[in-house]
Amino acid sequence: MISSRSRAKAKPILLGIAADHGGFELKQYLFGMLRAAGQNVKDFGDRKRHPKDDYPDFVVPLARAVACGQIHRGVAICGSGVGASIAANKVAGVRACLIHEAFSAHQGVEDDNLNLICLGGLVVGHATAWELVQIFLAARFSGAERHLRRLSKVAELERNASNEIP
């Protein structure tokens, strides 16, 4: 959890947040909460609710910013969170996951170096989403050898990605 005590000591990290119409309301809420907690947050949109917008238009630019290190961690939101997760994971270097409970919010970072959390704006309530984002941001990658080995295998899959069906 981001407390006023830890907020004063911790250097804010640059975060990115993005959502389509299905996640717009939750994005606006989380953006405000993150700013109030002293976090440096970049809004990748959408900045107005547009019922016909598409999650890849906002999630992919966020994912690219995370992959190249411009953004330390990201929060992507669509109606269910599934589409945001699928789109974000198409960008090499992004480790995104749909999260709806606390254990995965920290374990995903600790073991799998999760760098982008996906939420369902029509699935998760505001209070739960805020708790999950705080847990995600507070977690740190363990760097354990077994986790590094596994992530190396995932990176190899990304390098050798092919559109050919075996």
Domain CATH code at residue 105? 3.40.1400.10
pLDDT of residue 161: 76
What is the tally of structural domains in the chain? 1
User: What does DSSP say about strands 14-19 and 73-78: parallel, antiparallel, or unpaired?
Assistant: parallel
Q: Is residue 164 part of a domain?
A: no
Q: Is residue 31 part of a domain?
A: yes
pLDDT of residue 20: 97
Q: Is residue 165 part of a domain?
A: no
Looking at per-residue pLDDT, the higher value among 25 and 51 belongs to: 25
Q: Is residue 141 part of a domain?
A: yes
Q: Is residue 166 part of a domain?
A: no
How far apart CA 106 and CA 4 sit, in angstroms, is 20
| Mean pLDDT within 5-21 | 72
User: How would residue 96 be classed by pLDDT, with cut points 50, 70 and 90?
Assistant: very high
| Mean pLDDT within 114-142 | 97
Q: Tell me: pLDDT of 10 over 60.
A: no
Q: Is residue 55 part of a domain?
A: yes
pTM: 0.88
Q: Is residue 73 part of a domain?
A: yes
Q: Tell me: pLDDT of 85 over 50.
A: yes
| Amino acid of residue 14 | L
- Expressed as residue numbers, the domain containing 61 is 4-159
Q: Is residue 116 part of a domain?
A: yes
User: Is the Cβ–Cβ distance between 85 and 100 less than 8 Å?
Assistant: no
Q: Tell me: pLDDT of 92 over 90.
A: yes
